[in-house]
């Protein structure tokens, strides 16, 4: 896919995507490859990371599959060091690794609360900070944080997950403001419900019904629809977009009353 010239939109960019062993992250990795990027597929599950990297290589792309735990600074440093050893730069970070949670606040344990904040918020901060340090030194880059509509609205069962994702949204804005003058663009994507292993594991039938009621498009999204937004935010097409939270949610955020009044 090209941008009007003959070059693909992410031609030769080096992109690190966390949690890319499955789901939304995998879709972003595959799409970035099609757009000409060299992709580091990083995941807690090393086998899945390697499998996605192999899938990209088999399709003629350039990819590296690495194990990462985004809550562990030493592992993040090792992944970034390996990226620089292999490709000499890091142009794009997609902070996609995350875990779901669905616990009523009265039953929410401290352990579950902390697990959510640690992976979804602290993990995002640690990766973004480490990548930004490289990007500032090399003179530019782009960071895309995957937030959630659960970080914008008070959904039932989303105390821990929603608080963590709200934190990701605010972290995005602060980092964007601090880093824009240094050449690093920071933005977020806020997905609505997307059909992936995570949502299949955590969305009850009631959750599904409630989402479909609230979403004008009346369906779950696809990972590929998040990947399309990520290409925009990773590319030079978004050069004046700073600290933006891009909702890719089928209209969830826009919706007020939805009904079909024939009279």
Ligand X SMILES: NC(=O)c1ccc[n+]([C@@H]2O[C@H](COP(=O)([O-])OP(=O)(O)OC[C@H]3O[C@@H](n4cnc5c(N)ncnc54)[C@H](O)[C@@H]3O)[C@@H](O)[C@H]2O)c1
Catalytic machinery residues = 161
Nearer to ligand X (CB atom), residue 36 or residue 146? 146
* 83: nearest Cα among 147, 127, 145, 52: 127
Residues 39, 129: Cα–Cα separation, whole Å: 19
Tell me which residue has tokens 């499955």.
Answer: 22
Nearer to ligand X (CB atom), residue 170 or residue 198? 198
Q: Where are the beta strands (DSSP E) in the chain?
A: 14-18, 38-43, 62-67, 92-95, 141-146, 184-191, 245-248
Cβ 178 to ligand X shortest distance, Å: 23
Per DSSP, helices labelled H in 1-102 are 23-34, 46-58, 73-87
Which of 83, 152, 196, 247 touches ligand X by CB under 6 A? Answer: 196
* 220: nearest Cα among 228, 229, 210: 210
Nearer to ligand X (CB atom), residue 8 or residue 70? 70
* 121: nearest Cα among 194, 71, 51: 71
Cβ 203 to ligand X shortest distance, Å: 7
Residues 65, 177: Cα–Cα separation, whole Å: 32
DSSP summary character for residue 14: E
Q: Does 157 bind ligand X (CB under 6 A)?
A: no
Binding mask of the shown chain, residues 114 to 133, with x at each position contacting ligand X by CB under 6 A: -----x---x----------
Interface segment toward ligand X; rule CB under 6 A; list 5-13, 132-140, 190-198, 239-247: 190-198
Which of 10, 17, 21, 175 touches ligand X by CB under 6 A? Answer: 21
Which of 10, 13, 22, 233 touches ligand X by CB under 6 A? Answer: 22
Which of 14, 17, 40, 44 touches ligand X by CB under 6 A? Answer: 44
Binding site for ligand X (CB under 6 A): 18-19, 21-25, 43-45, 48, 68-71, 96-99, 119, 123, 146, 148, 191, 193-194, 196-199
């Amino acid at each position: 896919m090209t941008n009007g010239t003959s070059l693909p939109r992410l031609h030769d960019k080096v992109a690190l995507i966390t949690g890319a062993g499955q789901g939304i992250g995998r879709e972003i990795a595959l799409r970035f490859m099609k757009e000409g990027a060299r992709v580091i597929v990083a995941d807690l599950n090393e086998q899945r990371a390697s499998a996605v990297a192999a899938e990209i290589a088999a399709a003629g792309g350039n990819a590296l599959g690495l194990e990462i735990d985004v809550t562990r600074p030493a592992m993040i440093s090792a992944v970034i060091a390996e990226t620089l050893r292999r490709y000499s730069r890091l142009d794009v970070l997609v902070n996609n690794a995350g875990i779901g949670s669905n616990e009523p606040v009265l039953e929410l344990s401290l352990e579950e609360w902390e697990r959510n904040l640690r992976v979804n918020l602290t993990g995002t901060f640690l990766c973004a900070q480490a990548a930004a340090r490289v990007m500032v030194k090399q003179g530019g880059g782009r960071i895309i944080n995957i937030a959630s509509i659960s970080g914008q609205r008070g959904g039932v069962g989303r105390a821990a997950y929603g608080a963590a994702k709200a934190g990701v949204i605010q972290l995005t804005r602060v980092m964007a403001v601090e880093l824009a003058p240094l050449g690093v663009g920071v933005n977020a994507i806020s997905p609505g419900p997307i059909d992936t292993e995570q949502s299949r594991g955590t969305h009850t039938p009631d959750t599904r019904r409630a989402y479909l009621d609230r979403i004008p498009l009346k369906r779950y999204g696809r990972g590929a629809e998040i990947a399309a937004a990520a290409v925009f935010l990773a590319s030079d097409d978004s050069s004046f977009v700073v600290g933006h939270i891009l909702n890719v949610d089928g209209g969830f955020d826009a919706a007020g009353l939805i009904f079909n009044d024939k009279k």
